[in-house]
Amino acid sequence: MSTVEPIRNKKDVEKVEHLLAKQSKRDLLLFVMGTNCGLRISDLLSLNVGDVRNKTHIQLVEKKTGKFRKFPINAKLKPMIADFVKGRRDKEPLFLSHWKHRLDRTTAYYLIRGVCEKAGLQENIGTHSMRKTFGYHHYQKFKDVVILQKIFNHSSPQITLRYIGIEQDQIDDSYSNFIL
């Protein structure tokens, strides 16, 4: 089993968002939340409308770790969420399937993988790519592995760098720039 990769190129992220905007508001919001919050797919899919409606922060207990997590909803997500939850009940799952059940991770996987293939991405993509994309671009912007380590709840900076693909980028760069 190979590990999934982050989407390293911002233009590719934008291309995926553009395709999803044509596809559905649900799919676009799922992807944008995944790439802007760094949540695992299990935590994204567990959200209800009331968890995000008129909120400044998302608060949840992570399914994998059982730890409490709280973070602000950014300016890109606020209007998307407000539009998406209009007329919906607070107890309703945020992401519904076409059959009005909570969207499951397998459907989310095929949705994300399919749109990334459609966008021409060559990386190995899965739902976890959204979380890794968040981490990769967060690191590129702030160069602060310690805060990212805390966000992801990793035990060391090295684990975080390997997780988001920076370690491999550095190895590739080293090889590419070495000529004997």
Please give the average pLDDT of every successive group of 10 residues along the chain, which has 180 residues.
89 98 98 98 98 98 94 98 98 96 98 98 96 98 96 94 88 86
- What's the token pair of residue 180? 């004997």
pTM of the model: 0.94
The residue among 38, 3, 26, 177 whose CA lies nearest residue 115 is 26
Instruction: Give the active site residues.
Output: 40, 64, 128, 131, 154, 163
Beta strand pairing status for 57-61 and 68-72? antiparallel
Do residues 59 and 69 make contact, with C-beta atoms less than 8 angstroms apart? Answer: yes
- pLDDT score for 178: 87
